[in-house]
Amino acid sequence: MPPEIVDSHCHLDFPQLAEDLDAVIARARAAGVTRMVTICTKLRELEKVQAIADAHEGVFFAAGIHPMSVATEPMVTVEELVALAQHPKMVGIGETGLDYHYTADSAGAQQGSLRIHIEAARQTGLPLIIHARDADDDMARILTEEHSAGAFDCVMHCFSSGEGLAGAALDLGFYLSMSGIAAFPKSESLRAIFRAAPLERILLETDAPYLAPPPYRGRRNEPAYTVHTAEAGARAFHMPLEDFAAATTANFNRLFRKAA
């Protein structure tokens, strides 16, 4: 039997996966991926995302406004997010964050949205799910400022930023999530950042349908492929796959308590 693995971040409602969702979930379970968190990135898609979680055992969801959508979607309120969090399968707030790679022109709105999501995470006790791209300094500053104003839990989803942001996040007690990027042959510097972090702060994810790890790089990603990122992580930490899978699963249970 494969070791139990959790895909802490995927997008099962996206059309690349939704077209054969039952088969996608079956393959995940056969590969040892017993639980998945599917992420709602626009609240107008919430009904569809929630329905997927409701229909499948071991599938949970998180909800928020993706930073790249802040300029085109209605600004969410703290009260809306807190109300949504009452659903028994909603286990996280976000993804939210900052993306200056494609959408730097909406930086101010992104920062405002991020702070709204942070307050919702505080009030609900659910972990914040952060997307950060080309915004390390602002992200570290805002997370540090907000955490000093009131603690909250957080995972840096699909972490591929630099040592500075990794250190800031770890200093705040946050988690770093390994995606397929960490398994790419040229990602040794990223693997070194993960290797320098405490094992107790590492999660696994696919970000499916994107960022498939080798040997599927360039193709559609799906939760079953979490095992390939787990294998890369186990090699980086110089430990057996079974032990690394058990550690990251325990970490997931500690952070995503509603899904434990």
**Residue pair 180/212 in contact by the 8 Å Cβ criterion:** yes
pLDDT band of residue 59 (cuts 50, 70, 90) is very high
pLDDT digits (tens, 9 = 90+) for 83-137: 999 999 999 999 999 999 999 999 999 999 999 999 999 999 999 999 999 999 9
Percent of the chain with pLDDT over 70: 100
Report the C-alpha gap between 260 and 258 in whole angstroms: 6
β-bridge mates for residue 108, sequence order:
none
Q: Is the pLDDT of residue 158 over 90?
A: yes
Please state the separation of Cα 147 from the chain's center in Å.
19
Torsion of CA 143, 6, 232, 68, to 10 degrees: -40
pLDDT digits (tens, 9 = 90+) for 181-219: 999 999 999 999 999 999 999 999 999 999 999 999 999
**pTM beyond 0.85, yes or no:** yes
Report the C-alpha gap between 140 and 149 in whole angstroms: 14
pLDDT band of residue 1 (cuts 50, 70, 90) is confident
Phi-psi region of 125 (alpha: psi -120 to 50; beta: other; left: phi over 0): left
CA distance between the termini of the chain: 21
Instruction: Kindly state the average pLDDT of the residues 143-170.
Output: 98
Average per-residue pLDDT for the chain: 97
Instruction: Kindly state the average pLDDT of the residues 15-40.
Output: 97
Q: Is the pLDDT of residue 67 over 90?
A: yes
**What residues does each domain of the chain span?**
5-259
Q: What is the pLDDT of residue 78?
A: 98
pLDDT digits (tens, 9 = 90+) for 238-247: 999 999 999 9
* CATH classification code of 5-259: 3.20.20.140
**3-class SS at 204?**
strand
pLDDT band of residue 8 (cuts 50, 70, 90) is very high
Q: What is the pLDDT of residue 225?
A: 98
Neighbour tally for 114: CB within 10 Å: 28
- State whether the Cα torsion 12-161-182-186 is positive or negative: positive
